[in-house]
Amino acid sequence: MKNILTAPFVVEMMKTTANMYRLGWDERNGGNISYMLDPAEVGEYLDTEKVIREIPIGFDAPSLVGKIFIVTGTGKYFKNVEDDPERNLGIIRIAEDGRTAELLWGYSDGGRFTSELPAHLMSHIARLSVDPENRVVMHSHPTHTLAMNYVHELDEKKLTHTLWEMCTECIVVFPDGVGVLPWMLCGTNSIGEATAEKMKEFRLVVWGMHGIYGAGRNMDEAFGLIETVEKAAEIYMLTAHLPRINTIKDEEMVELAEFFGVKYRKDFLNL
């Protein structure tokens, strides 16, 4: 067996969590990531027949039976993942009953996966129904995105349109727009179900006055989506109190989207 600490998926989680903490997106134990892995690749590093313990996941996920995920731990700080990945991360497999996670590695202090795992797994199910290549769900608290929640209408069309106006790249990076949920109690199946419903339509979902969810085919895509929204939100927060002299016009957004060949939400434009 190869050393699990050298596995690309472990190294990627270590680097990504460190970067997100450095950016101020994941203070204390805020934020979580789940990453669906290739069982054959995992088998190069772990004996997948050896289950350390079983942990209930809190809902029924039959479509994910046998799927393997590396997931950040509950109560764990992103800043500590690089120093002690085995304590702060875990690799789980969804058991045959669809309601239990089999721990294959990690959570070495007796811990467990993030309390948001139901929301993550529900989002994986939703995204896989749209894009079978989806592998990553990422939740964080980007500062300017969160600040924008307090001064901008939490309306999907209006929020998306404002973000698209902030950077030329925005309509190209997230042409499907941004879904929005009102404030809801976190760590519950209810917010997980609401997020998953939005994930059928969007790869990005804002949790009002809380943070954002991003989904993608790989870590770069999920991270890049959130990163682009955060940059646009920062520009908005830096300029919202000032007279606007220039803006990206809707006709120019159409020109951008069509030049780069992306399928964009025409109903989110004011044409």
Residue 261 CB neighbour total at 10 angstroms = 8
Under DSSP, the state recorded for 152 is S
The Cα–Cα gap between 134 and 196 comes to 13
Q: Which of 102, 116, 227, 234 is catalytic?
A: 116
CB 140 within 8 A of CB 226: yes
The Cα–Cα gap between 130 and 134 comes to 9
Q: Identify residue 248 by its one-letter amino acid code.
A: I
Paired sense of beta strands 204-207 and 68-72, if any: unpaired
Catalytic annotation present for 116: yes
Q: Identify residue 95 by its one-letter amino acid code.
A: A
The Cα–Cα gap between 136 and 124 comes to 8
As annotated, the active-site residues are 116
